[in-house]
Amino acid sequence: MTEKTEIWIIKGYETFALLGEKGLIIEQLAKEVGISKSSFYHHFADLDLFLEKILLHHLYKSSIIAEKERKAEKINPDLINILIDHKTDLLFNRQLRINSNISNFKDTLIKSNKIIGTDFINLWLADTKVNLTPKQTEGIFELAMENFYLQINQDNINKEWLTTYFDNLIRITRNFETTIVR
């Protein structure tokens, strides 16, 4: 990948994360990266190819997050720091969820969740020490992720908000666990 191709992809990725597909206006992106609009067409031919490259970039970023999750020992501070470091990736994933009625967005979301989900669940179980079946854990994880992505925005992906979110999630999970055991 050439340096200019990478510049376009990173700027498109960041823009999509904040504004969704409607924010991918070539003229505006060209202004922001300081490269001519013709350069865009030289590297990508059209917006569909550009979007495909951005979606592949997200899967690459998801694999980086998963690798970091594998090494994490605790939700706080390890996972929280990973999430803060990957704020743009979380916002990108949020846009995929919002627009999951579009097949290539839905496919990328499913692939990304598979890449990240297993390691997150393993960390969650190890750190919280809840006694739930794998099926129960997956169900809570799905609900928690939907809730998480409904709430996040570029302003609240920070240590304070994430700590509160995970503390509440742990409390709810433990309440769920004790309700099931009875």
| pLDDT over threshold 70, residue 182 | no
Taking the domains of the chain in order of start, what are their residue ranges?
A: 3-181
Residue-level pLDDT at 120: 85
Q: What pLDDT does residue 96 have?
A: 97
Q: What is the pLDDT of residues 62-79, one digit of tens each?
A: 999 999 999 999 999 999
Q: Where are the alpha helices (DSSP H) in 45-158?
A: 47-71, 80-85, 87-98, 103-128, 134-151
**pTM of the full structure:** 0.92
pLDDT digits over 84-111, tens only? 999 999 999 999 999 999 999 999 999 9
Q: What is the pLDDT of residues 16-57, one digit of tens each?
A: 999 999 999 999 999 999 999 999 999 999 999 999 999 999
pLDDT tens per residue, range 112-170: 999 998 888 888 888 888 888 878 878 888 888 899 999 999 999 999 999 999 999 88
Q: Which pLDDT does position 122 carry in this prediction?
A: 83
Distance CA 37, CA 42 (A): 9
Query: Which CATH class, in words, describes the domain spanning 3-181?
Result: mainly alpha
Band of the pLDDT at 181, cuts 50, 70, 90?
low
Q: How many CB atoms lie within 10 A of CB 122?
A: 14
Residue type, 53: K
Say what the pLDDT of residue 26 is.
95
Distance in Å from the first CA to the final CA of the chain:
57
